[in-house]
A and B are shown apart, each in its own frame.
Chain A
Amino acid sequence: MRLAHVFRDAYIATGLAIIIVFVVLALLADVIAPYSPVESVGAPLRPPSPEHIMGTDNLGRDIFSRVVYGSRIVLAIVALSIALSGFVGTLVGLVSGYLGGLLDRVLSFVMDSIYAFPSLILAIALSVALGPSPVNAAVAIAVVYVPTYFRMIRGQVLSVKNEGFIEQARVLGLPPSRIVVRHILPHVSRTMMVVFSMNSADAILTEAALSFIGLTVQPPTPDWGFDLYKGRGFVLDGKWWLMAYPGLCITLLALGFALVSEGVSRITGARLR
C-alpha cells in the first residue's frame, strides 16, 4: 500500500480534508477568530448576524470565536490520547507477544479486563478520579483504547513471531530488542494504522462526552462539549444557535475521522469490527 494510494481513496481524502480544516482553525485561531472567546463582545443571546455569524451566547460572547478556539482543546486532547494509547498499546503488545510466558498472560488478563468495561463509563470514572483537566481527560481516553492496540498488535506478533526470518534473526545473534523493533514492528504497522484511525473516530466522541459533563476544561475556556451542555437550557426558548454550532463541529470532526477510518479499513482490507 503506497502513500499515493492512500490519498486517492475518496473516503480518506474527504475525511482528511475535514480534519485539516479543523487543524487549520486550531492553529490559526488567533487570526481567524474575530473576537476574544472569553469576553463579552456584544449583546447576549443574539441570533447569527453579520457581526456575529454564529450569534452570541448568554454572556454576550461570540460563538464563532468560541467554536474556533474550542477546536484547540478537542484536537489537543484527541491527539494526545491517541498518541498515548497507540504508543503504550503497541509497545506493550509487542513485548508481551514476543516474550510470551507469564508476563504475557498477566498483561492479556489486565487488558481483557479493561476491554470488557464499557468504554465511556470507564473514561468518565477515570477522568473523575484523576480530576478534571485536559491532560487527565486525554490519559483517561488513552487508557480506554490501549487494549485495542494491545490485542491487535499482540495477535499479529504471535503470527509474525513464527516466521522463518525471526528464527533466522535469532540464530544470527540479533538481540530481542532489535528483532522486535526492526523485524516485527514493520510487519504490524498496517494493523497499527487501522486501529489508529478507528480509535481516533471513537476518541473524538468520548472526548465530547467528557467535555459535555465538564471533565476537561474549566469555564470560561471555550470547549465544544461543554458549550453544548451550557446551551441546552436555551433551545426551548428558540435560541438554537448556542447548541447548534458546537454540536455541528463535533459531528463534523467525528465524521472526518470516521471517513478516514472507513477508508483505511477498505484499502487495507482489514475489517476490525
Chain B
Amino acid sequence: MPGHVLEVEDLWVKYYTLSGVVHAVSGVSFKLRRGEMLAVVGESGSGKSTLAYALMNMVPKPGKIVRGRVLLGGTDLLTLTPEELRRVRGSRISIVFQDPFTTLDPLRRVVDQFTEFLMEHGLDKAAALRVAREYTEAVGLPGRVLESYPHQLSGGQKQRVAIAMAISLNPEVVIADEPTTALDVIVQKQIMDLIDDVRRKYKSSFILITHDLALALERADTVMVMYGGYVMEYADKSELVRDMRHPYTRALFESLPKLGQRGLPSFLPGYPPDLRNPPSGCVFHPRCPLAREKCRAELPQLAEVSKGHYVACHYAGVVG
C-alpha cells in the first residue's frame, strides 16, 4: 500500500505456559505511515512488549504468534525463513530496549560491536567504520565514545549508542520499547528530543512504547491505547485530545497530574486483568465505570467513530 511502511493485520500472540495460555496480544491491527510516530500506550502487562517482539517476529518461548500478518513494505515478516528474517532485523526494522545498561557487551568496545553489526549486513570494514562514526555523531556523542568500553559510558550515552545502531541502516521502522524508563528525568527528555530529531532527519517511522499517556500525547502523531492485549482506542493525537472516547483512555487521562489541579489526580480502581483468564466480553468491564450487561457478554469490536478514529466500546457513541 502506498504511504504505509508497516501494516499489521489481526495479530494474535499467546504464551503457552505450564499454568495456562496467556492471551497477550489479541487481534491488533494498525498501519504506520512513513515518518510517523505511533505511541502504544498501556499499563504494565497490557501486551506492549509482546507486540514489539511480534513485529520483529521474535516472540520468546513459550510465546507463539497464532494469527496475523506483519507487512513491512509489503513483505509478511511472519512468513520469512530465519535467514531472511535475520537480514531484515536491524536493517529494515529495529528496536531500542528499555534498559541501556545491559544492551552492550561489557567485554568489547563500542566500535567493535557497532561495526560487527554493520558488516553482518553487508558493509565492508571501511564503510562500517564510516557509518558508525556518522551515526555516533548524529546522536550527539563525541567520537571517543566509539573507542570506549560500555562501562565507561553513562546510561544516557549507552542509550544513544543503542539508538545510533538502531537507525544506522536507515530502517523503515524503529521500535522503542520504553526507551527512557530506566533513565533519570533530565536524560529522559534529552533522549526523547533525540528520537524526535532523528525521526525528522531520517524520516523513519517510530513506534514508541510507553505506559505514559502524557509522553505519548507530547511526542507522537498517533496514539494506540492497549488494555489486556486488545486495542481500546486508536486515533491521531489531536483527534484523541479533542474527543477521547474510550472509558479506559479517559481514565488514563484523568489519572495524569495536571497543571493547576488541586488534590490528587483520580486513579482507576482495580487491577489489570489476568491474561490467563481474561474477563468475558469487554476485557475492561470489571474496572469500567460504564459497564453494563452487554459488556460482560459481548466483545466490543474496534469501530471507526470518525475518520481515522477507532474505538472498541459498546457505548463509545453514547459517552461524551
B107: nearest chain-A partner, CB-CB: A186
List A residues 153-183 near B (Cβ within 8 Å). Answer: 163-165, 167-175, 178, 182-183
Q: How far is the CA of A183 from the CA of B117 in the complex (A)?
A: 12
In the complex with contacts A171-B58, A171-B94, A172-B94, A165-B89 CB distance below 8 A: no
A173 touches B102 (CB 8 A): no
Q: Give the chain B neighbours of A168 by CB distance below 8 A.
A: 97, 103-104, 162
Task: Compute the total of residue contacts between A and B using a CB distance below 8 Å.
Answer: 58
Q: How far is the CA of A172 from the CA of B119 in the complex (A)?
A: 11
Interface string of A64-106 (1 = CB under 8 A from B): 0000000000000000000000000000000000000000000
In the complex with contacts A171-B58, A172-B90, A163-B102 CB distance below 8 A: yes
B101: nearest chain-A partner, CB-CB: A164
B116 touches A164 (CB 8 A): no
Interface membership of A187, Cβ < 8 A: yes
A173 touches B97 (CB 8 A): no
List B residues 50-77 near A (Cβ within 8 Å). Answer: 56, 58
Interface string of B78-89 (1 = CB under 8 A from A): 000000011111
Which of the residues A163, A164, A173 comes within 8 Å of B90, measured between beta carbons?
A173
Q: How far is the CA of A167 from the CA of B121 in the complex (A)?
A: 17
Most B-side CB within 10 Å, residue of A171, A175, A182, A183: A171
Q: How far is the CA of A195 from the CA of B85 in the complex (A)?
A: 37
Most B-side CB within 10 Å, residue of A169, A172, A178, A182: A172
Q: How far is the CA of A228 from the CA of B68 in the complex (A)?
A: 73
Tally chain B residues at the interface, Cβ within 8 Å.
27
Q: How far is the CA of A174 from the CA of B94 in the complex (A)?
A: 12
A182: nearest chain-B partner, CB-CB: B116
B105 touches A165 (CB 8 A): yes
A178 touches B99 (CB 8 A): no
A173 touches B103 (CB 8 A): no
Interface membership of B165, Cβ < 8 A: yes
Distance between B44 CB and nearest chain A CB, rounded to angstroms: 19
A171 touches B90 (CB 8 A): yes
B107 touches A172 (CB 8 A): no
A173 touches B105 (CB 8 A): no
Q: Give the chain A neighbours of B107 by CB distance below 8 A.
A: 186-187
Interface membership of B120, Cβ < 8 A: yes
A164 touches B103 (CB 8 A): yes
B117 touches A164 (CB 8 A): no
Q: How far is the CA of A175 from the CA of B101 in the complex (A)?
A: 23
Interface membership of B95, Cβ < 8 A: yes
Interface membership of B91, Cβ < 8 A: yes
Distance between B309 CB and nearest chain A CB, rounded to angstroms: 32
A173 touches B165 (CB 8 A): no
Distance between B88 CB and nearest chain A CB, rounded to angstroms: 7
A171 touches B89 (CB 8 A): yes
Q: How far is the CA of A164 from the CA of B120 in the complex (A)?
A: 19
Determine chain A's interface SS by DSSP, over half rule.
helix
> Chain A, interface size: which category?
10 to 19
B86 touches A173 (CB 8 A): yes
Q: Give the chain A neighbours of B117 by CB distance below 8 A.
A: 169, 172-174
B92: nearest chain-A partner, CB-CB: A173
Q: Give the chain A neighbours of B94 by CB distance below 8 A.
A: 171-172
Distance between A193 CB and nearest chain B CB, rounded to angstroms: 15
B87: nearest chain-A partner, CB-CB: A173
Distance between B105 CB and nearest chain A CB, rounded to angstroms: 4
Which of the residues B103, B106, B120, B165 comes within 8 Å of A178, measured between beta carbons?
B120
Q: Give the chain A neighbours of B91 by CB distance below 8 A.
A: 173
A165 touches B104 (CB 8 A): yes
Q: How far is the CA of A163 from the CA of B101 in the complex (A)?
A: 10
In the complex with contacts A163-B102, A168-B103, A183-B105, A175-B97 CB distance below 8 A: no
B86: nearest chain-A partner, CB-CB: A173
B95 touches A175 (CB 8 A): no
Q: How far is the CA of A173 from the CA of B56 in the complex (A)?
A: 10
B89 touches A170 (CB 8 A): yes
Q: How far is the CA of A182 from the CA of B112 in the complex (A)?
A: 11
In the complex with contacts A164-B99, A178-B120, A182-B116, A171-B105 CB distance below 8 A: no
A100: nearest chain-B partner, CB-CB: B61
Distance between B101 CB and nearest chain A CB, rounded to angstroms: 8
Q: How far is the CA of A170 from the CA of B97 in the complex (A)?
A: 12
Q: How far is the CA of A175 from the CA of B117 in the complex (A)?
A: 10
Distance between B239 CB and nearest chain A CB, rounded to angstroms: 32
A172 touches B165 (CB 8 A): yes
B95: nearest chain-A partner, CB-CB: A171
B97 touches A167 (CB 8 A): yes
Distance between B236 CB and nearest chain A CB, rounded to angstroms: 29
Q: How far is the CA of A87 from the CA of B117 in the complex (A)?
A: 27
Distance between B234 CB and nearest chain A CB, rounded to angstroms: 25
- Other A-B contacts than A167-B103, A172-B120, 12 sampled, CB-CB below 8 A, are A169-B105, A170-B58, A171-B58, A171-B89, A171-B90, A171-B95, A172-B94, A173-B87, A173-B90, A173-B91, A173-B121, A175-B120
Can you spell out 20 A-B residue pairs with CB atoms less than 8 angstroms apart? A165-B102, A165-B103, A165-B105, A167-B97, A167-B103, A168-B97, A169-B105, A169-B117, A171-B89, A171-B94, A171-B95, A172-B120, A172-B165, A173-B85, A173-B87, A173-B89, A173-B90, A174-B117, A186-B107, A187-B107
Q: Which residues on B are within 8 Å of A, measured CB to CB?
A: 56, 58, 85-91, 94-95, 97, 99, 101-108, 116-117, 120-121, 162, 165
Interchain residue pairs A-B with the least CB separation, the first 4: A164-B102, A173-B90, A173-B89, A172-B90
